[in-house]
Chain A
Amino acid sequence: MTVDKKYESKRKAADVFGRVIVFISALLLIIITVSLFLFVTSKGLSTFIKDGISIKEFLFSTTWNPDREVPAVGSLQFIIGSILVSVFAIMISAPLGVSSAIFMVEIEKKLGQKILQPAIEIFVGIPSVVYGWVGLTVLVPFISKHFGGLGFSLLAGILVLAVMTLPTITSVSTDSIKSLPVEIREASYALGATRWQTIRHVVIPAAKPGILTAIILGLARAFGEALAVQMVIGNRPVIPKSFLEPMSTITSIITMDMGNTVMGSVWNDALWSLALLLLIISFTFIIIIRLVGRRGMYK
């Protein structure tokens, strides 16, 4: 057998070269993640290190006067605002999302895959500014007209986010329900259970880790959404006392103020601290999802 030595060494070299290239690409993901953490952390900590503001004041005070002579950057209202708007949004979208996932997998497979699945994908694809724009031009006047107030409110933010998180929750729970083995359903039917009994006592408990993951992912999306929320909540730096009052969130204050502040000022530093807080929260969500996912029965 004759071996073309030159060709042989060339393709061996290509083999090594290819391996190195794809390895570097994968490493780049780590490098980007680490540098993102490092940069945001180092900027975010300067509020506490350079400007001498205590972490306690930042997290637990609601006095937001970043432009005064003695700046106060208490951010509790933004944190509470973010929590309120995303938790209530999830309370609407989670039941709807999980229900439509069950519909797609357990009740109308064909119809679900032909119509609902593409519809959900389109929902995911609609840009957040478009959601915000519709919220601003339809929802806000509607709320103002029928419930009173300006319309720019916690309620508007909740409804916009409910729509935006719905597709996330639906598609992730669909995947998790789909991956359950068909035998557990058959066993349930063989015992004489109705479809609803099977869904309630077999499918939902078995898919629980996946459904929880879906809900946490939805929550993470709601927490991190910036523009759609900012457009409809009125952006007043206070804790809303009712659903109809204007408010602010962590993301909305960053969006609003980042352009008006000078790098290095206390005001600007405080915005970076809020960004750091967002980063920590979103990382926490990821860790929780990993812990929940590990508990899955059927993998």
Chain B
Amino acid sequence: MNSKLYDKIATIYFYVVATFLIVFLISLISYILYQGRTRLNIDFLTSPPKFMEVGGGIGPQLFNSIELLIITLIISVPIGLGAGIYMAEYAKPGLLTEIIRLSVETLSSMPSIVVGLFGLLVFVTMTGWGYSLIAGALTLTVLNLPVMTRVSEDSIRSVPNSLREASYALGSTKWQTIVKVVVPAAMPGIITGIILTAGRIFGEAAALLYTAGMSSPALNFSNLNPSSPTSPLNIFRSAETLAVYIWKVNSEGLAPDARQIADGAAAVLLLMVLIFNILARWLGSILYKRMTGEK
């Protein structure tokens, strides 16, 4: 009867581990949100940071994070989708495909600090742009491309073949089939993937320290001249993001309320990531239902 006893013990062990993880995650999230609760107000989210005095906000950093995210997605989604289409629909087994696959795997496990240094060398120094929004966006593109490629490839692969065959039977070319049938059918998966990677881009800091920079000029939101350094539309200005700001405040923050600022910023960052996560789930299930005609 020993084996029955061991089975019981093992079952209890697995329950304990699972419960521990859930409890740990819940307490981690509630701790972060609780610590930052006093800062979750419009004033903190919109006002600029202050140097050496109490009461600074995270306005420019939050704005930079969002702007950087949008630019990165504009660059990396089409390329990643294209590469995903190629890998799922065109690639034949062979050396070239193997090399592309190896590149995707290598890039996706590359430490982000190394990607950041590559960005520093190529997009900051060689182009002469200096620490800038565009250098940060291109660096994040390097980080995001392999993920985007994988997500699109997987979603496209999971589209049933009968759809493609039906399209060919109507006389469509391969490209027409891809654009009009396959990609739309793969859309729920692709969109869920984009939102999840967006969360990752939003929280990335190591790759941005030396590309988008660790400072942000005061932004003037009525200034829409893209060449002016205070214009939010200028992509060649340095752009410290929220995640970078948390790191900087802790290592060299001089404001007396640095601790509270970082607490608030961490809570905001976590909230954004949670929102991305929930949004991805919700949108994914809605699109899935619509595509499959359930309800």
Contacts and interface: CB of A to CB of B under 8 A. Distances in A.
A40 interface: yes
Interface in A115-162: 115-116, 118-123, 125-130, 132-134, 136-138
B173 interface: yes
A225 B250 contact: no
A203 to B, nearest CB: 12
Nearest to A225: B111
A208 interface: no
Interface stretch (A20-28, A53-61, A180-188): A20-28
Contacts of A289: 105
Contacts, number: 258
Interface stretch (B41-49, B116-124, B221-229, B285-293): B116-124
B31 A33 contact: no
Interface residues of B, number: 93
A283 B204 CA distance: 21
B167 interface: no
Contacts of A65: none
B86 interface: yes
B247 A122 contact: no
Interface string B106-147: 110111111101101110010000000000000000100110
Interface string A233-276: 00000000000000000010011001100010000000010010
Contacts of A226: 111-113, 206
Interface in B2-44: 3-4, 6-7, 9-11, 13-15, 17-18, 20-22, 24-25, 28-29, 31-32, 35
12 contacts: A21-B82, A100-B18, A104-B18, A107-B14, A107-B15, A118-B277, A127-B269, A163-B24, A195-B7, A227-B206, A258-B120, A278-B113
Interface of A: 11-12, 14-15, 17-19, 21-30, 32-36, 39-40, 43, 96, 99-100, 102-104, 107-108, 111-112, 115-116, 118-123, 125-130, 132-134, 136-138, 163, 166, 193-197, 199, 217, 220-221, 223-227, 231, 251, 254-255, 258-259, 263, 272, 275, 278-279, 282-283, 285-286, 289-290
